Amino acid sequence: MTKTCSDLFFKDKDPSDETMCDFVYTSLVNVHPEEIAKIEKTDGGWKKYWDEVLQSAVSRITHNTY
């Protein structure tokens, strides 16, 4: 996750939440397609998982690192 955030901030110094969500999704689906497919099949899918689990983690990483 930290590498993904680093890659994102190398490309965009001030990404929007939507940009972060899309970038993390693309990165994870390339590395863990089966796990992302499972998340997508859950109620609320990726967006809910992003909102409830990952968004705060990515925010902490970016604020502590950048």
Give per-residue pLDDT as tens, 24-51. Answer: 898 889 989 999 999 999 999 988 888 8
Q: Could you give the CA distance from residue 24 to residue 4 in angstroms, rounded to a whole number?
A: 7
Q: Model-level pTM?
A: 0.66
Judged by phi (left if over 0) then psi (alpha if -120 to 50, else beta), residue 24 lies in: alpha
Is residue 3 within 8 Å of 24, Cβ to Cβ?
A: no
Quote the mean pLDDT of the chain: 77
Whether residue 39 contacts residue 46, with contact meaning beta carbons closer than 8 Å, is answered with yes
